[in-house]
């Protein structure tokens, strides 16, 4: 039975870097945020978003993600409504993806809001990625060309590191890439021993 390793961390902690490192070491990786983005282009999800948010978040019938983000990251209720549309679609898609990887001893399920969405309940082991707040803020500003205020708004919508760590089996401090890589190798070794994988 394939074990699901949940990989999570706050925005800007470097989850995707860690996920890609696992991928390079031969572990199948499912990146929930990327898949959610793709699924948000499906007619089923688009129609549900139109019903809840109206046509104001669309331009020429194309979803304006920035406009939608602005709404949901300023209103916890609206964020919950959006998650209520997207999460079931991602869950269904992941189940299908998992069938294609059923021969793998374990897979990585990477999700920013693994705990907030309840997704952690389906994981066998959880890894949390942490990094200093200022490092995270700068990473997101550089990546998304956004403002400090916008980043902090998103950080405040997520669980804090202490809360995540208390529910995690492993914690990776992602500040130095070489140290991070050696931590990943250690965790992988442990998982292989646990699963009797050579």
Q: Which residues are annotated as a binding site for ATP?
A: 12-17
Taking the alpha carbons of 177, 179, 181, 187 in that order, is the dihedral positive or negative?
Answer: negative
Name the nearest CA neighbour of 130 among 14, 29, 33, 19: 14
Name the nearest CA neighbour of 32 among 83, 67, 73, 66: 83
Annotated binding residues, written as ranges, equal 12-17
Task: Please measure the distance between the N-terminal and C-terminal CA atoms of the chain and give it in whole angstroms.
Answer: 16
Q: CB under 8 Å to 113, separation ≥6 — which residues? A: 8, 83, 119, 158, 159
Give the Cα separation of 82 and 101 in Å (integer): 29
Residue 117 tokens, joined: 């969405």
125 three-state secondary structure: strand
Residues 65 and 53: beta-carbon distance below 8 Å: no
Give the Cα separation of 171 and 177 in Å (integer): 15
């Amino acid at each position: 039975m394939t074990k699901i390793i949940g990989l999570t961390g706050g925005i800007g902690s470097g989850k995707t870097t860690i996920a890609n490192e696992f991928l390079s070491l031969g572990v199948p990786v499912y990146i929930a945020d990327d898949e959610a983005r793709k699924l948000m282009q499906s007619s089923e999800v688009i129609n549900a978003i139109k019903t809840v948010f109206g046509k104001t978040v669309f331009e020429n019938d194309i979803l304006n993600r920035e406009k939608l983000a602005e709404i949901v990251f300023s209103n916890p209720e609206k964020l919950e409504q959006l998650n209520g549309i997207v999460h079931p679609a991602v869950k269904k898609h992941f189940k299908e993806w998992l069938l294609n990887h059923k021969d793998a001893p374990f897979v990585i399920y990477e999700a920013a809001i693994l705990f907030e969405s309840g997704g952690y309940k389906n994981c066998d082991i959880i890894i949390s990625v942490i990094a200093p707040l200022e490092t995270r803020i700068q990473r997101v500003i550089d990546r998304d060309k956004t403002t400090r205020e916008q980043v902090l708004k998103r950080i405040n919508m997520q669980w804090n590191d202490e809360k995540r760590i208390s529910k995690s089996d492993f914690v990776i401090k992602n500040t130095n890439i070489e140290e991070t890589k050696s931590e990943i190798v250690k965790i992988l070794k442990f998982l292989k021993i646990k699963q009797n994988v050579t």
